[in-house]
């Protein structure tokens, strides 16, 4: 990470990089996992600095792909095997119950400190 990044932004981006392929965390999940900030702060960091990390793995709680980046996000989800579902109108959404990662499973460092 760049030395010019604010410390909080660096921690958010490091958290995004730890999310395994095929899994997601919400903006609020990331903030809770870090123990500071909130969904809006995480969203702001991702909007400003998230292009160099797997941004598609940090999502809205409703499972709707990021507006304006839906096509790119869906390509990543399909490539990684991220669980998806269709709405009654046929729109793709993340299957949040299956896709959501809690930060502790799948080789993410187990009991390691988060920050």
pLDDT tens readout for residues 14-72: 999 999 999 999 999 999 999 999 999 999 999 999 999 999 999 999 998 888 899 99
Residues 87-112 pLDDT 10s: 999 999 999 999 999 988 654 443 34
Under 8 Å CB-to-CB from 25, ≥6 apart: which residues? 15, 16, 19, 33, 57, 58, 59, 100, 101, 103
The pLDDT value recorded for residue 113 is 39
Q: How far is CA 97 from CA 68, 75, 102, in A?
A: 24, 20, 11
State whether residue 98 is helix, strand or coil. helix
């Amino acid at each position: 990470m760049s030395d010019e990044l604010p410390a909080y932004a660096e921690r958010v981006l490091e958290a995004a990089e730890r999310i395994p392929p095929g899994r997601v965390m919400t903006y609020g999940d990331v903030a809770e996992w870090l123990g500071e900030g909130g969904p809006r702060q995480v969203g702001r960091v991702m909007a400003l600095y998230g292009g160099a990390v797997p941004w598609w793995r940090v999502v809205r709680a409703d499972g709707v792909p990021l507006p304006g980046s839906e096509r790119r996000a869906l390509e990543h989800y399909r490539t990684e095997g991220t669980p998806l579902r269709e709405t009654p109108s046929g729109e793709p959404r993340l299957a949040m119950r299956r896709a959501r990662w809690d930060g502790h499973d799948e080789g993410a460092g187990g009991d390691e400190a988060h920050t």
